[in-house]
Amino acid sequence: MSNVVEVLNPFDLEKIGSVEVKSWNDINVMLNVAHGLHRDRGTWLPAYRRIEVLKNTARIMSGRAEDLAMLIASEGGKPLIDARIEVTRAIDGVELCIHEICQMAGREIPMDLTAAGSGRIAFTQREPIGVVVAASAFNHPLNLIVHQVAPAVATGCPVLVKPALDTPLSCEAFVDILYEAGLPKEWCHLTICQNDVAERMITDARVGFFSFIGSARVGWMLRSKLAPGTRCALEHGGAAPVIIDETADIDAMIPLLTKGGFYHSGQVCVSVQRVFAPSGMVETVARKLAEAASALKVGDARDASVECGPLIRPGEVDRVEQWVDEAVAGGARVMTGGKRLGRTTYAPTILLNPPADASVSTSEIFGPVVCVYEYDDLSAAYEAANALPFAFQASVFTKSLDTAMHAVRYLDATAVMVNDHTAFRVDWMPFAGRHQSGYNTGGIGYTMHDMTQDKMAVIRL
């Protein structure tokens, strides 16, 4: 008999729902069905059917936007004000998939460039890559699922989706909406399962593409075990750096850094984590950030006035507490916070000059902590910013065009924001980590490209 996992609200740890956990036998059947669909080209869904399903999906989601937002807040602890934005982004993501279907075209390949190719014409088409298995993270429980599943639907790939066990209800709701919108159930399978079963599913030879959002340790391990021929995209975390120079407008940057650092209590892969400020400005920057952080309301994410919700599990509060205590013992100054507020919440925290070898300086915090460091030479700030084995997004605050362009060139990041926080994103831009932070590129259009492959026809006239 299948097990059942209870889903808890991360603030009060009360049960809000339950989901059935699938066994390997269940998932093996799903893989067979999905693989059979892809192998039988006569069953492929034409573009107009996929567009119709996605249009209906966006319409249904729009009509249930508030319910979806409350579900995100309830199971994931994301403040309702931000959960509503996540729902809007998710709907936009579905609609973006429709737009990208229209761009999913091949091209003509010139053949008469040499005598050997003369007398032929050639063109390419994009075909679905095969069965997609998508494993997702807890921190955006609806929008991440949309970014992984909707592109699979849009490209005509059968998909098996595994949400985080902490936040499966939003995924379940989205899959049910796809069915309601007209997607035949065999094209999308909800595979809530334990880690050992998930690994067996992901590494199965019937999988054509593996999409993973989560920890680097797990992602790279799974990539090393993929079956030959399985393509993949991995999205992990970072410890996003911010460079401030002497010309920067401090008052203008504080609200941006506060949002970028404490959005979803810092549980975002590109959260502001390491802020480097000139020694003559560092006290002012840290103090003003502390004032803004201390004014944030912490509590139950379902309360529309709350700005920082709980961490996803009590164990994460324990970990953040240990990391901050370690930094303070090493000489960091607590400008605000530095303490847990309860079993499930931690105070928004600003640390000034933590040791370079402290966990808060070398690893992704994934909690409500921002570190501020002083520097005397801008090149030393770049060196510190680039010192870690992972890199994602970064930012620079300056009024100098020279400094801005220097930062764009010298910061080791896939995207450098000028006069904005590191967590900025729109869903049609490329979104990816470098080094240990990821593999391949996210973003709706980029994901759809990865889920398809070229086929060329060469016609001899």
Residue 235 annotated as catalytic? yes
For 80-130, the pLDDT digits (tens) are 999 999 999 999 999 999 999 999 999 999 999 999 999 999 999 999 999
Residue 371 annotated as catalytic? no
Catalytic residue among 75, 95, 172, 235: 235
Domain parsing of the chain, residue ranges: 3-236+437-460, 240-426
Q: What totals of helices (H) and strands (E) does the chain contain, helices first?
A: 15, 20
Cα–Cα distance for residue pair 399/171, rounded to 1 Å: 43
Burial string for 341-372 (b: 16+ CB within 10 Å, else e) reads: eeebbbbbbbbbbbbeebbbbeebbbbbbbbb
Q: Give the pLDDT score at 430.
A: 87
Cα–Cα distance for residue pair 391/27, rounded to 1 Å: 35
For 116-144, the pLDDT digits (tens) are 999 999 999 999 999 999 999 999 999 99
Cα–Cα distance for residue pair 269/115, rounded to 1 Å: 53
For 326-368, the pLDDT digits (tens) are 999 999 999 999 999 999 999 999 999 999 999 999 999 999 9
Catalytic residue among 193, 269, 308, 371: 269
Answer for the pair 423, 272: CB distance below 8 angstroms, yes or no. yes
Fold classified for 240-426: Aldehyde Dehydrogenase; Chain A, domain 2 (3.40.309)
Q: Give the pLDDT score at 1.
A: 41
Handedness of CA 186, 191, 196, 197 (dihedral sign): negative
CATH for 3-236+437-460, options being 3.40.50.720, 1.10.8.60, 3.40.605.10, 3.40.50.2300:
3.40.605.10
The model carries a pTM of 0.94
Handedness of CA 283, 272, 241, 219 (dihedral sign): positive
For 24-42, the pLDDT digits (tens) are 999 999 999 999 999 999 9
C-alpha distances (whole Å) from 347 to each of 296, 331, 353, 363 are 9, 19, 19, 19
- The average confidence (pLDDT) of the chain is 96
Cα–Cα distance for residue pair 170/141, rounded to 1 Å: 6
